[in-house]
Amino acid sequence: MRILMAVVAVALALAPAADAATPIERWAKTNKLSGHWKTKDTDRDGVKNRREFALKTNPRKADSDRDKLRDGDEVTVGTDPRKPDTDGDGTRDGAENAGRIRAYDGETVTIDRFVGGRVTALVSESSQCLDEEAEEEAPADEEYVEVTEDATTGDPHWAEEEVEATEEEDPPVDLGGDDDYGAGSCTDPDLKPGTLVTSAVIADGVALDIDVKS
């Protein structure tokens, strides 16, 4: 009888507790998530809670690393939502991405900037748009003109000041990381609301160059 009781005791000791929480359950409890939380996007950053667990981001903060770029947007552009400066170049990820299109009526585009604020500009026949998903190398003999940083924000992806043309009368172009001037005129699909804008240059209220990522 004593031997049987000892065997039962050992078996109970080795068996896992029925209410033992899994890592994801403990994570959910720590972040005060309840109900059908796995399929929800609690902080509305574009990332479901289940994936936030996998990414090790904060499900209650839309911008886990406070770099002015939502976690979901970081996933879209390929930066690390846990590191404010993914590439370690001294510029926060949010400053390296212009913003998101808020509205476009066929003539003017409104962009919500990740670093704060909103800008509206006229889209003309000379406005150039490039979808980075379909980007091709520019011709080697193409000439480009780099626009200096915005004096008020220090953001190299934005220039809202009057810019003079070069001696060759080339129009001002913000390289912003990619030499893409001449990529093509802007179309409705390029500027649909919600589209991510990775770089833009605006002069005298006119959008000269807008790079997007669909």
Domain end: 69, 92, 115, which one? Answer: 92
Residue 132 lies in a domain: yes
Say what the pLDDT of residue 39 is: 95
User: Domain limits at 123?
Assistant: 97-213
Q: Evaluate whether residue 38 is within a structural domain.
A: yes
Does one domain contain both 105 and 190?
yes
User: What was the pLDDT predicted at 182?
Assistant: 40
Q: What is the pLDDT of residue 133?
A: 66
Do 103 and 208 fall into the same domain? Answer: yes
- 129 within domain boundaries: yes
Contacts for 203 with CB less than 8 Å, ≥ 6 apart: 159, 160, 161, 162, 163, 172
How do 108-113 and 206-213 pair as beta strands? unpaired
Q: What is the pLDDT of residue 65?
A: 95
> What pLDDT sits at residue 82?
96
| Same domain membership, residue 73 and residue 130 | no
Question: Residue 68: what pLDDT?
Answer: 86
| Domain assignment of residue 179, yes or no | yes
Structure tokens that stand for 127 in this block: 């406005």
Report field, pTM of the whole predicted structure over 0.85: no
Local mean pLDDT, 10-residue blocks, the chain (214 residues): 54 55 94 94 95 96 92 87 92 82 93 86 90 57 42 52 48 40 70 89 89 84
In this structure, the answer to whether residues 74 and 117 fall within a common structural domain is no
Q: Assess whether 121 and 204 both reside in one domain.
A: yes
In a domain, 16, yes or no: no
Rounded Cα–Cα distance for residues 10 and 4 (Å): 10
Residues 102 and 195 in one domain: yes
Number of structural domains found in the chain: 2
Q: Would you say residue 13 lies in a domain? A: no
| Same-domain status, 206 and 108 | yes
Same domain, 159 and 206: yes
Biggest CA pair distance of the chain: 102
